Amino acid sequence: MKRNGVQLILILLGAAFVFVMLILPLITVMTYALRQGWETFAEAITDDYAVKALKLTGFSTVITLAVNTAFGVFASWAIAKFAFRGKQVLTTLIDIPFSISPIIAGLIFILVFGRIGWAYPLTESLGVKVVFAVPGIVLATIFVTFPFISRELIPLMQAQGNEEEEAAALMGAKGLKIYRRITLPHIKWALLYGVILCTARAMGEFGAVSVVSGHLRGKTNTLPLHVEILFNEYKLTAAFAVSSILVVTAIIIMILRNIVEYKLKKEEG
Amino acid sequence: MYVELKNLNKRFGNYQAADGVSFSIEKGKLVGLLGPSGSGKTTILRMISGLEQPDSGDIFIDGVRVNDLPAAKRGVGFVFQNYALFRYMTVFDNIAFGLTVQKKDKAFIRARVTELIRLIGLEGLEKRRPHQLSGGQKQRVAFARALAPNPHLLLLDEPFAAIDAKVRKELRSWLRETIGKVGITSVFVTHDQEEAVEVADDIIITNNGRIEQIGSPVDIYRNPKTPFAAQFIGTSIRIPEYWKLHGYEKTPGFEHAVVRPEFVLVSKIEKEQYPVTSKRGVISGIFFRGNAMELNIDVNGLHLTSNQSLDEAAFAVGEEVSVLIYRLYIYNETEVRLVENSSIKSDGTFFI
C-alpha cells in the first residue's frame, strides 16, 4: 500500500511520542546510572541499604502475590460461577483500590493502625507494630494491588459460563476436583497474566507505601522509597543506579507479560 | 410412572419459569418438551436433573422423591445444549470422566468407554480434543459422556440446536435409534416442532411456564386441546372473522380461527371441484421446500398457505386459482374445536 503524506506524518508523530515518552526516559535512566562507570554503579546497588530495600521490596511483593492470588482466585470463582446476595456489592468493593489515590490508601492505614487509630490498642496488645513497620508496607501494597488478579479472571470466567462445571458436578465431581480439572485449565494463562501485572505494580508501589513506611533506612525502606531518598540527597548517580534495578525488572516482567499474552491469545483463538 | 412432577413452581425474579407443572413419563419413553423460547422447558429439565431447585412441588424418579437429593445422586445423564465438553480433555477422558469420579478401576473404564465410542461410531478419534471435532461429533461425544455412568434417565437440552440443518436430520434419527437401542427413559427439550414430532414418542407442550398439552405427536396434531397448541403446532395461520368464509357459521363463544396448509386445497380454475364453496385467489408466492412446493395465496386480502406435491400441476405467481378451505380450528380462551366446511358436508360429495 502506498502511504500518503498525512499517513506518514501521523506515523512519525506517533513514533516520536512513543520515543519521547517511553524510550527516552529508559535510556536516560540507564545512561545516568552508568555515567560514572561500572564501579560506581556496582557500589550503589550493592550498598547495604540498597540491598535491604531490595529484600524488603521482594518480601512484600511475595506476600502480596500470595494473598492477592488466593483472594483473586476465590473471589472470581464465587462471582463468576455462583449467584448470591451481595454479589454486586462485592464486585464494586473489589474495584475500590483502582479508584482511590494511593496516598489516601496509605492514610487509611495510618488512621486505622496509627497511634490515633481505633485498632492501635489491639495491635499494641498483640505486640505488633503496623504503621512505620513492615506489616504496614505489606498491607498497603496488598490494598493497592487488590483487584489485579480477580479483574483478569472474572470476565474470562463469566464468558466461559458454567456448563462444563455443571456437567462435571452432575457426574459427581466435588468442588476441588471440578476446579482443578475443569476451571483451572481455562484460566491458567489469565491467572499468570494477573500475577505478572500484580508483581509489576507491587514492586513499583510508591504512594501508599511512602505514607505508612516512615522511611527508616534499612528497616522500612522499599526500593522506590530508597530511590527517592537518594535523589533528595543529590546522589543522582546512585539514585539512577538503584532505579535501573526496577527498570530492568520491569522490562523482564513486560517481556514475560507479552509471552503470556501471546499464549492467552493462542488459547482463545 | 417413572418420572413424576407434581405441581412444580419456579420463579426467577419477575419471570415465572414453571407455574404448577405436573406431568409423568412412562419408563422407556422418549419424551419431547416442546415450546417457544422462554416457555420454561429448559427450567423443567434442569429441575429434574437437580441443577435447579423448584420453589415448591415434588419430583419423583422411580417412585423416590428426589427434591433433596443432590444432582449427582439422581442417576441422571444430561446433555447440554452447547455440549459443554471438557475442552482440555480428550474424547476418551471426556467420556471416562463420570467413571473416573466414581473411582471405577482402569480396565472397567477402558472397556466401557470403548464400548460407548463404538456405539457413537467415533472409533479412532479417542485422542482428539473437542475443538478438533465437528458439531455432530461433539454432540455424539456429549451423548456418550452422559450415558457412561449408566444413568436411569437421560435429559437432553436442545440437543440439535447448534448443528447445521443437514447433519441435524441425520443425527435425529441416529439419536432416536440409539436411545431405543440403549432403552433409556429420555426427555429432550426443543423449540422445533418438526424435531419433536419426528423424534418423540410423546410431546409435552409448554408455554409461559405451564403445560399446555401432553400426547402423542399425531394426537396433538389432530386434536389440539388449547388455543396455544392449535396455533403453535403445524404452520397455523390465523383467520379473522372466519364466519365470513363460505361454508362456515359463527359458533357462539368462538371468536378466532386458525387454518393449516393441509386444510387448504388449491386447484386450477378449470379443474375446480366445488364451485359453490370455493373462492378465487391469486398466487402471491411459490417456494420450493425440498419435498413439496409451498404456495402462498391471496384471497381478498387473506393470506393463506398450501402445500402442493411436486407432481401436481404447476402454478405460476399471479395466476388466479380456486381455493377451498375444508377445515378450520376455531377457539376461544380455553377451548378448541375442529369444524368442517358445512357446504361440503351437505353436498355429500366430500371425502378425505
Q: Which of residues 40-99 of B touch A (CB under 8 A)?
A: 49-51, 71-73, 76-78, 80-82, 84-89, 97-98
Query: Would residue A16 count as lying in a domain?
Result: no
**Nearest chain A CA: its distance from B309 CA (Å):** 44
- Using the 3D structure, point to which of B226, B261, B288 is the last residue of a domain: B226
Residue B244 sits in a domain whose CATH number is 2.40.50.140
Query: Would residue B208 count as lying in a domain?
Result: yes
C-alpha cell at B211: 403445560
Instruction: Give the percent of chain B with pLDDT over 70.
Output: 95
Pairing outcome for strands B64-65 and B279-288: unpaired
CA-nearest residue of chain A to B88?
A: A185
Split at pLDDT 50, 70, 90, the class of B316 is confident
Pairing outcome for strands B15-25 and B292-299: unpaired
Contacts of residue B313, defined as CB under 8 A and 6 or more positions apart, other chains included, come to B268, B271
> Which residues of A are less than 8 Å from B89 in CB distance?
181
User: Are A172 and B84 inside 8 Å of each other by CB?
Assistant: no
> Which residues of B are less than 8 Å from A164 in CB distance?
84-87
What 3-state DSSP class applies to A92?
helix
CB B193 within 8 A of CB B308: no
Domain boundaries, position A215: 37-268
> Which residues of A are less than 8 Å from B90 in CB distance?
none
> Which of A163, A173, A186 lies nearest to residue B84, judging by beta carbons?
A163
**Nearest chain A CA: its distance from B211 CA (Å):** 26
> Which residues of B are less than 8 Å from A171 in CB distance?
72, 97-98, 101, 149
Please compute the mean of the pLDDT values over residues B117-136 and round it to a whole number: 92
> Which residues of B are less than 8 Å from A81 in CB distance?
none
The whole-number pLDDT of residue A268 equals 61
What percent helix, strand, coil does chain A show, rounded to 5?
A: 80, 0, 20
> Which residues of B are less than 8 Å from A184 in CB distance?
none
Query: Would residue A250 count as lying in a domain?
Result: yes
Split at pLDDT 50, 70, 90, the class of B350 is very low
Please compute the mean of the pLDDT values over residues A204-210 and round it to a whole number: 91
CB A157 within 8 A of CB A186: yes
* A252 vs B266: CA distance, rounded Å: 79
- Within 10 A of A114 (CB to CB), how many other CB atoms are there? 17
CB B229 within 8 A of CB B336: yes
Query: Would residue B266 count as lying in a domain?
Result: yes
CB B324 within 8 A of CB B265: yes
| Chain mean pLDDT for chain A | 90
What is the residue-wise DSSP string for B234-270? Answer: TT-EEETTGGGSTT--PPTT--EEEE-GGGEEEEEGG
Query: Would residue A24 count as lying in a domain?
Result: no
C-alpha cell at A121: 490498642
B218/B246 same-domain check: no
Q: Which of residues 124-163 of A touch B (CB under 8 A)?
A: 163
User: Are A169 and B85 inside 8 Å of each other by CB?
Assistant: no
* A225 vs A217: CA distance, rounded Å: 9
> Which of B73, B80, B102 lies nearest to residue A167, judging by beta carbons?
B80
Query: Would residue B340 count as lying in a domain?
Result: yes
User: Are B72 and A164 inside 8 Å of each other by CB?
Assistant: no
* A230 vs A244: CA distance, rounded Å: 13
Contacts of residue A25, defined as CB under 8 A and 6 or more positions apart, other chains included, come to none
Query: Would residue A21 count as lying in a domain?
Result: no
Please compute the mean of the pLDDT values over residues B115-121 and round it to a whole number: 92
Query: Would residue A31 count as lying in a domain?
Result: no
**Nearest chain B CA: its distance from A55 CA (Å):** 39
> Which residues of A are less than 8 Å from B85 in CB distance?
164
B199/B242 same-domain check: no
Please compute the mean of the pLDDT values over residues A163-189 and round it to a whole number: 90
Please compute the mean of the pLDDT values over residues A234-259 and round it to a whole number: 89
Nearest CA among A187, A179, A180 for reference residue A152: A187
> Which of B82, B88, B101 lies nearest to residue A171, judging by beta carbons?
B101
Structural domain count of chain B? 2
The whole-number pLDDT of residue B345 equals 58
B175/B48 same-domain check: yes
- Using the 3D structure, point to which of B182, B197, B226 is the last residue of a domain: B226
User: Are B101 and A172 inside 8 Å of each other by CB?
Assistant: yes
Query: Would residue A23 count as lying in a domain?
Result: no
Nearest CA among B347, B142, B100 for reference residue A167: B142
CA-nearest residue of chain B to A173?
A: B101
Residue B73: CA count within 13 A, CB half-sphere = 8
What is the residue-wise DSSP string for A194-254? Answer: HHHHHHHHHHH--HHHHHHH---TTTT--HHHHHHHHHHTT-HHHHHHHHHHHHHHHHHHH
B189/B261 same-domain check: no
Torsion of CA A225, A227, A230, A235, to 10 degrees: -170
B145/B197 same-domain check: yes
> Which residues of A are less than 8 Å from B86 in CB distance?
164, 167-168, 181-182
> Which residues of A are less than 8 Å from B102 in CB distance?
172
Chain centroid to CA B32: 6
Residue A106 sits in a domain whose CATH number is 1.10.3720.10
Query: Would residue B83 count as lying in a domain?
Result: yes
Query: Would residue A14 count as lying in a domain?
Result: no
- Residue B206: phi and psi, rounded to 5, are -115, 150
Nearest CA among A140, A3, A142, A127 for reference residue A69: A142
C-alpha cell at B343: 357446504
The whole-number pLDDT of residue A269 equals 54
The whole-number pLDDT of residue B283 equals 87
> Which of B84, B88, B102 lies nearest to residue A167, judging by beta carbons?
B84
User: Are B86 and A182 inside 8 Å of each other by CB?
Assistant: yes
Instruction: Give the percent of chain B with pLDDT over 90.
Output: 43
Residue ranges in A34-117 assigned as alpha helix (H): 37-46, 48-81, 87-99, 102-113
**Nearest chain B CA: its distance from A266 CA (Å):** 13
B20/B151 same-domain check: yes
**Nearest chain B CA: its distance from A152 CA (Å):** 20
Residue B138: CA count within 13 A, CB half-sphere = 22
- Within 10 A of A142 (CB to CB), how many other CB atoms are there? 22
> Which residues of B are less than 8 Å from A170 in CB distance?
49-51, 71-72, 76-78
Paired strand residues for B153: B76, B185
B198/B59 same-domain check: yes
Look at residue B352 and tell me whether its pLDDT is greater than 50.
Answer: no
The pLDDT tens digits of the residues spanning B305-315 come to: 888 877 776 78
B348 φ/ψ sector (left φ>0, alpha ψ -120 to 50, else beta): left
> Which residues of B are less than 8 Å from A266 in CB distance?
none
B144/B245 same-domain check: no
Please compute the mean of the pLDDT values over residues A67-93 and round it to a whole number: 91
CB A17 within 8 A of CB A25: no
CB B323 within 8 A of CB B305: no
Look at residue B351 and tell me whether its pLDDT is greater than 70.
Answer: no
- Within 10 A of A130 (CB to CB), how many other CB atoms are there? 25
B343/B265 same-domain check: yes
The pLDDT tens digits of the residues spanning B186-230 come to: 999 999 888 888 899 999 999 999 999 999 988 888 888 888 888
Residue B115 sits in a domain whose CATH number is 3.40.50.300
Query: Would residue A8 count as lying in a domain?
Result: no
Least confident residue range of A13-17, A65-69, A189-193, B289-293: B289-293
Please compute the mean of the pLDDT values over residues A27-45 and round it to a whole number: 87
* A185 at interface of B, judged by CB pairs closer than 8 A: yes
Contacts of residue A130, defined as CB under 8 A and 6 or more positions apart, other chains included, come to A109, A113, A119, A123, A136, A139, A212
B121/B260 same-domain check: no
B153/B287 same-domain check: no
Query: Would residue B352 count as lying in a domain?
Result: no
The whole-number pLDDT of residue A65 equals 96
User: Are A170 and B78 inside 8 Å of each other by CB?
Assistant: yes
> Which residues of B are less than 8 Å from A166 in CB distance?
51, 78, 80, 84
Least confident residue range of A131-135, A252-256, A261-265: A261-265
The whole-number pLDDT of residue B344 equals 67
Choose from A165, A170, A174 for mutation: most chain B CBs within 10 A. A170
The whole-number pLDDT of residue B320 equals 85
**DSSP run (H or E) holding B303:** strand B302-309
The pLDDT tens digits of the residues spanning A83-141 come to: 888 999 999 999 999 899 999 999 999 999 988 888 888 888 888 888 899 999 999 99
> Which of A172, A181, A186 lies nearest to residue B98, judging by beta carbons?
A172
Domain boundaries, position B76: 3-226
CA-to-CA separations, A153 to A71, A148, A199, in angstroms, rounded? 11, 9, 16
Structural domain count of chain A? 1
B61/B143 same-domain check: yes
| Chain mean pLDDT for chain B | 87
* A93 vs A147: CA distance, rounded Å: 9
- As a whole number of angstroms, the longest Cα–Cα distance in chain A is 74
Please count the residue pairs, one from chain A and one from chain B, whose beta carbons lie less than 8 angstroms apart: 53
The pLDDT tens digits of the residues spanning B17-64 come to: 999 999 999 999 999 999 998 888 999 999 999 999 999 999 999 989
The whole-number pLDDT of residue B313 equals 66
**Nearest chain B CA: its distance from A174 CA (Å):** 9
